[in-house]
Amino acid sequence: MVVGGAEDYSGVMTSETIADPELDPTATYVVAPSRSRRLAARVVAGPRAETFTMNSPMTGAPIAALPLSSAADVESAVASARAAQARWAGTPFAERKRILLRFHDLVLTHQVELLDLVQIESGKTRANAFEEIADTAMASRYYARTAESHLRPRRVLGAYPVLTQTRVLHHPVGVVGIVSPWNYPLSLAITDALPALMAGNAVVLRPDQQGSLTALAAIELLYRAGLPQGVLQVVLGTGSEAGQAIVDTADYVAYTGSTATGRRVAASAAQRLVSFSMELGGKNSVYVTDDVDLDTAVAGAVRACFSSSGQLCISTERLLVHESIADEFVPRFVEAVQAMRLGTELAYGYDMGSLVSPAQLETVRAHLDDAVAKGASVLAGGRHRPEVGPYVFEPTVLEGVTADMRCRDEETFGPLVAITRVPDDEAAIALANDTEYGLNSSIWCRDVPRARGVAARLRTGTVNINEAYSAAWASMGAPMGGMKASGVGRRHGAEGILRYTEAQTVAAQHLLPIAASHGLSDKAYARVLSTGLRAMKAMGIK
């Protein structure tokens, strides 16, 4: 199948032959050379830039060759973005809103090609790829319609009631640098850029090399929606070169990726006194209480554990089951896992796709082998399935995982989940919190007030009740991010756009200065002001 190659972006195409000498013409999925060249033209890279070739996890075969940006290219991109930013910041909110709403429509209209690219680059199922389409459209609509209200000047109480009139303004920081990962190549590359743009910033984006085509296709749609040229620049390259160059030059850094890399990014940004936000790793838990609809909980737990083959920061690797229902829940869950349909086709109908690379496959194998060697039992899965796809690994369920096993505390980032039986809510809370991470959690319980009580004691940035992860993720008006080693700052909601601004307080004083005046001595002034402060407290003034 050849993807792209037509102006209507209709997805899988067969109308163009493969003629790129750098690619294998017999590959099952290859992006049409004309399409990849058009996308590559948006990358800031020198005329003699080296290229890299991406392979698809669906087949292991090459799919496209794209240019690599050097550190100098990144500096050039930031300079160009900075030059464009001042003009963009002067664009009325109404026009910014129109652009994002047009982009919303374009994403939905051209979703077939975007779905193809997401699958080809990440290996996930089409249903999981559609999550990215929906997320991008929802973020576009939300910030198009709320950015102005989040950012408009705000009156606050001044030092003296009436006499001190104070406003809080929000200015764009300038150039926002975004370093996004491979696992959600559309959503995580684009949805962080949208509020940055709506706040009047320019953006320099470095998508992961494995997600480059998807990000470039989406950016092309943003420009078709009317985004002025130069406001959003794209660079490609390794994290150590292109990613680091963004951290070294941007006015703000938004990073999504591993906790280990996040610590290095934070240290680099701190040296420059540049603000940053990060969504990092997770070791997320699902708690199935004794008060639960078993059929609903089983289906939800399967989604929580194995969506995107477990390559989702907010997916589950710990399944905590109340012991009073475990003997009934666990067999049902194992049966549902064993019935999952595995596939690597550009079509709906599969429950799980592929891991993204040999490295991810090796991590899953290593964690599984370590656990089994130390006494864990495999209840389902546990096998590599190369006949389905080169990096496909069965959804795997373990029981008997202990603290000396790597998968107990390390993030696997693959289709491996450990079941633990717990006697009560207290034990579930303690175990869910017993990790350095704090990104997401899920509770399944008929008694929602009880579940809310449990949720309030979980040290995770998001908690879903009777849903795997999508309820909190899709609540665009609410902040999303991690506690502890799972991140700093939040995306979505007011926090998701205000992070890209500098707050400024402007206070105008009228009639009386905030100092001794009109013949009062400093001592008399202090006495008068003390009386006034007591009076304001008595009147309930904040």
Structure tokens at 336: 């549902």
Structure tokens at 537: 């407290």
Residue from 313, 317, 399, 411 carrying the catalytic annotation: 313
User: In Å, what is the CA distance from 262 to each residue of 27, 62, 74, 181, 496?
Assistant: 36, 30, 20, 12, 18
Concerning whether 279 is annotated as a catalytic residue, the answer is yes
H or E segment to which residue 102 belongs: helix 93-109
CA distance 305 to 381: 13
CA distance 228 to 222: 9
CA 287, 288, 291, 296 dihedral sign is positive
Contact 123, 355 (CB under 8 A): yes
H or E segment to which residue 419 belongs: strand 416-422
**Per-position b or e across 503-541, b if 16+ CB within 10 A of its CB:** eeeeeeeeeeeeeeeeeeeeeeeeeeeeeeeeeeeeeee
**Per-position b or e across 56-84, b if 16+ CB within 10 A of its CB:** bbbbbebbbbbbbbbbebbbbbbebbbeb
Residue from 75, 132, 279, 317 carrying the catalytic annotation: 279
User: In Å, what is the CA distance from 307 to each residue of 184, 256, 351, 352, 443?
Assistant: 12, 19, 8, 7, 17
Find where tokens 């096993």 sit. 405
CA distance 247 to 352: 35
Residues 6+ apart with CB under 8 A from 226: 95, 98, 99, 102
Concerning whether 313 is annotated as a catalytic residue, the answer is yes
Residues taking part in catalysis: 279, 313
